[in-house]
Amino acid sequence: MVVLEKAPAKINLSLDVLHKRNDGFHEVEMVMTTVDLADRIELKLLPYDKIKVESESRFVPNDERNLAYRAAKLMKDHFKIKKGVRIFIEKNIPVAAGLAGGSSDAAAVLRGVNKLWKIGASLDELAELGAKIGSDVSFCVYGGTALAKGRGEQILELPAPPPCWVVLAKPAIGVSTQTVYQKLNIKQAEHPDTQSMIAALEEQSFEKICAQVGNTLEGVTTRLHPEVNQIKEKMQQAGADAVLMSGSGPTVFALVAQDGRVQRIYNSLKGFCPEVYIVRMLGSRENT
Ligand code: ATP
C-alpha cells in the first residue's frame, strides 16, 4: 500500500514575537498561509517494524534527525503501532529558508501514516502531537490560512486571502531560527499589528493585507544578511504590492495582484538570487 501526501510551504503574512517565556520558548502571534510550492511525500507500508527515510536532497539527513522520521516515530510510539514505513521525500521547498519545509514534511507524515496504518486520529489530535516535533508542525497539519499563537501550536483558522501571485526568492544562505531568536531584542524590534491583519483578511481587502504585512524577526536577519534587503528593494522597484521576509528568513516573498507584473518581478530577481519561484496561495484548508 502506498499513500501520497503533499507538503506545502508556508509564508508568514505577519509574525510578532511578544515575549520570552519561562520555559525558554517565545510567545508568538503569526498569520500564516500555505503556498503551492510543495514537497511530495510518498509513504509505503513495510512488512516489518522499521522506519526508513529516503530523499535525493543533499540538504536533509536520511536518518532519525529528519523531521519526517520523527513524525513517524511519534505516531508509532503514541498509538503503539508495530508496522513499518518507507518515507520518500521529493524535496522541492528550499531548506532552512523560513518556509517550514521540514515542519510540513513532518505534518504530511503524520497525516499519511494515520491513513497507512489505519489509525483514524483526527486532524486536531495530529496537530497536538505535531507540536512535540516543532512549533510550525501544528499549522502544517491543517494548512490553509490561520493565526498561530502560543509557541505556534494554538491554531485559529482564518479566511483565505484574496487570490494573488506570490514570488519567492531565497538567497544562497541558510538561516538558523535559533540564532535569529537569540539575537532578537524584543523591545527594540518592530512589531506588526496582528489584529489589523486579521481584520484585513476578514474584510478580504488585498490593499489592507499588503499594508499590514510585518515580521519582528526581519531586522535581525537583515543585519546578519544584507542580501535580504537587496531582494526586498528589487521586488519593490519591479512593482510588488507588498514584500516581506518569511519566518526567520532568508526567503523574501512579494505579493502581486496584477498578472503583468509577476514576470517582471521574477526576472528582476533571476540571476541575482539562485532560487526564485512564482506560486499561488493555496488559501483555505480544503485546497491544501
Ligand atoms: P521554519 O520556517 O519552520 O523555521 P525553515 O524553513 O527555516 O523552517 P527547514 O527547511 O524546516 O527550515 O529546515 C530546518 C532544519 O531542519 C535544517 O537544518 C534541516 O537539516 C533539518 N531538517 C530535518 N528534516 C528536514 C526535512 N524533512 N526537510 C527540511 N529540513 C529538515
Last residue of one domain, picked from the residues 94, 124, 157: 157
Do residues 150 and 10 share a domain? Answer: yes
The answer to whether 23 is a known catalytic residue is no
**Taking residues 94-111, what's their average pLDDT?**
96
**Taking residues 85-93, what's their average pLDDT?**
98
Do residues 71 and 139 share a domain? Answer: yes
SS3 call for 70: helix
Give pLDDT, residue 207. Answer: 98
Q: Is residue 288 scored above 80 in pLDDT?
A: no
Do residues 121 and 70 share a domain? Answer: yes
All three cell numbers of 83 = 508496522
Do residues 177 and 117 share a domain? Answer: no
**Taking residues 256-275, what's their average pLDDT?**
94
Among protein residues, the one with the nearest Cα to ligand 1's atom 29 is: 102
Do residues 142 and 271 share a domain? Answer: no
Atom of ligand 1 nearest to the CA of 60: 20
- Whether residue 43 contacts residue 109, with contact meaning beta carbons closer than 8 Å, is answered with yes
Give pLDDT, residue 181. Answer: 95
H or E stretch covering 46: strand 26-46
Do residues 203 and 114 share a domain? Answer: no
Do residues 281 and 203 share a domain? Answer: yes
Query: For the chain, how many structural domains are there in total?
Result: 2
Whole-angstrom CA distances from 170 to 80, 96, 231 are: 40, 10, 9
Last residue of one domain, picked from the residues 130, 157, 184: 157
Do residues 105 and 181 share a domain? Answer: no
Find the 24 Cα to ligand 1 centroid distance in Å.
Answer: 20
* Residue 280 lies in domain: 165-287
- Burial bucket for residue 196 (CB in 10 Å: 0-12, 13-18, 19+): middle
Q: What is the pTM of this model?
A: 0.96
Question: What CATH number does residue 103 fall under?
Answer: 3.30.230.10
For a pocket test of ligand 1, which of 5, 26, 60 has the largest count of ligand atoms closer than 8 A to its C-beta? 60
Among protein residues, the one with the nearest Cα to ligand 1's atom 18 is: 96
Give pLDDT, residue 50. Answer: 96
Distance of CA 158 to the CA centre of its chain: 16
Do residues 148 and 178 share a domain? Answer: no
Pocket lining: 249 vs ligand 1, CB cutoff 6 Å: no
